[in-house]
Chains A and B, each alone.
Chain A
């Protein structure tokens, strides 16, 4: 058995459920063709709200993907997670016949909002009708561990598992913890993140963060790194990745390897008022060091791309310091899906692996004019073909979370 330091964690399967792109290839095509997944909210009458745009998944019919008995007990976010888990496992060619022990299959997911639409309905029943009307499923459809638990049950995965919360950064933390779990000896860990909170209460709560754009035009509302950046647009969905021990994947004859999770690190910003700079750059440096790479080895950066001028500038400064001015191609394809909270990092990671596969960098949505002072080589307008061997994926969460993952192209 190889020692933890020598175990390599590779991605052998992936799937995405995102606005404008249900399923990996649809998602990827949407990113490459610049199809905008942001539109007017259609789930409820949002006319009272100062912002009315969201990245909605509108082509997911749950009954087509899940058995009927799971429908009354699951929030929309859990349905996405369960379907995406099915697709990712199928993509990896993993099933009951794979000969993997149930304790060698773990699940590590992230959600920052839990089953919020579901729980809003139960709050409403409790307070408008009374305790007797609260669903017998509310106790587990709501909490943050729901996706890990449901995926574990559906796929008989009994290995080391967890659920992590870290706002927008939590999804990459889940991938990092999956990698850690593989390096500690579990053969395969299904990982990723999914979020959705587009019910009236959930959407209002997202607005209370103060960073959601009030621009009404879906083509102009979320413009990361643009001179007209005005905030972000909330979205729903995420991605699931199958993280596997490289030797074990080879031993079972895995059909494909998308790439290696070569490095991961998480840092936290200094407390407000300290006057010291944020710690995103340190997360990137630590992830690079863990991968045994230098900034010069990175072919593309998938940025956090907050779409808030102050945050965009901070990220641009970090990248310029690490890579030099315009030193590396940077993109933020989440501009087309909205920010997916815990789903955002895993969706970006999926995009990064697909970029390595196809040697092409998707563009940053509708972003067109980047301030010179950012010194960014931002991929805008159309995809850019390039020789890609390693990608750095960044995510930041409200209050100071920073996570970084380095993925490298599969070794031949």
Chain B
């Protein structure tokens, strides 16, 4: 009765490689892509490391007009959309456009372009009353970034429900969760969903500097992101994107599509505790995990791999470990848990979708990606975090989670369709 939803196309732009294959190679090799910030002079900042992408819009096929029109994050989203559609083999031209939707996640949307335009309008910050004579025609779209999902919709030929889900650092999980709901309820048959963020800009670096959320380990950029390690002291800011083609299962089967995974369950809760702080007990994340497993009708012991949020802040990794124990019980100690943020950094709203990509590729290849840079045990983080080296094992079902400012706690269960009860 309930319509089932599967992922049939994947597109990724992450630090360390340009496409899905390069991304997966990086993860399975346990290599890191964090480096000194090169986009601007970061010397005045506390944290000067980032996961940057060497993105060449022209080589990616963007026309000069598209390059000017689209913000960097939008370019990422559109590049991933094109990849995901090609990967899916879906002939969108043959579909009814009104049955195609878009759900794009982003935490800070056009932050980089906002800052660039701010510098022009304010004369590098000198003027409080910015000068309207220097107004870019695109400024409205940076203020109110509806253009981002709009560009994805145009790239995908979507004329059904189109929205941007902006739940901070869980945006990339929640946008895909939103897409699943659209397909299940019958509002769309195909949804292009995912997330993009390009926050490696002075204002965003300053934001996280101010609350010491990012690591100051500037002398060792490649080993700066240390989720679950006893010496962790903050996350590494990054940029990236991942987009997916989600389809109703039976339609995907009928057209003989390659199915990466089914989205079996998704849930989100809020901790109603603090805009940036986390309680130690992991209660609300545990509840979202429980609800996602419940929706997938899977027992917690079915989980073969947990793709963790694992940001590498003191409080997150402790909070999350408690949430896994609370929701998975004894199985938390048996199941491999890893954080790819150790390798590609934390791209805010985008990372949830990049982690979904890692999760479906883990199912695809039966490989669990490792947690890089994990050398020093932390007594408060005492699970199997797959240190340093990827692990070949059967992966049928993955739990992926996210946690973000505002208190959002989200969980998604991905599995091979044949696992479903």
Contacts and interface: CB of A to CB of B under 8 A. Distances in A.
Given A138-B207, A139-B211, A152-B407, A204 B121 contact: yes
Interface residues of B, number: 86
Interface string A142-173: 11111011101101111111111111001001
Contacts, number: 259
B160 A268 contact: yes
Nearest to B295: A184
A130 B211 CA distance: 15
Nearest to A111: B166
B58 interface: no
A48 interface: yes
Nearest to A138: B207
Interface in B106-129: 107-109, 114-115, 118-119, 121-122, 124-126, 128-129
B210 A398 contact: no
B194 interface: no
Contacts of B46: 131
Name A's interface SS: mixed
Given A134-B209, A153-B272, A153-B273, A184 B181 contact: yes
Contacts of A156: 272
A200 interface: yes
A140 B161 contact: no
Interface string A161-204: 11111110010010001001000100000000000010011101
B405 A271 contact: no
Contacts of A245: none
Interface in A44-64: 44-45, 48-50
Contacts of B211: 136, 139
B251 interface: no
Contact of A266 (B161, B166, B209): B161
Contact of A113 (B44, B119, B121, B144): B144
B37 to A, nearest CB: 13
Nearest to A146: B406
Given A123-B203, A126-B203, A164-B163, A205 B146 contact: no
A401 interface: yes
B406 A206 contact: no
9 contacts: A45-B129, A123-B114, A123-B125, A139-B213, A143-B168, A164-B165, A166-B146, A268-B150, A400-B150
Smallest CB-CB A-B distances: 4 pairs: A127-B125, A149-B406, A144-B166, A209-B140
Interface of A: 44-45, 48-50, 73, 102-103, 107, 112-113, 116, 119, 122-124, 126-128, 130-131, 134-136, 138-140, 142-146, 148-150, 152-153, 155-167, 170, 173, 177, 180, 184, 197, 200-202, 204-210, 265-272, 279, 282, 341, 397-401
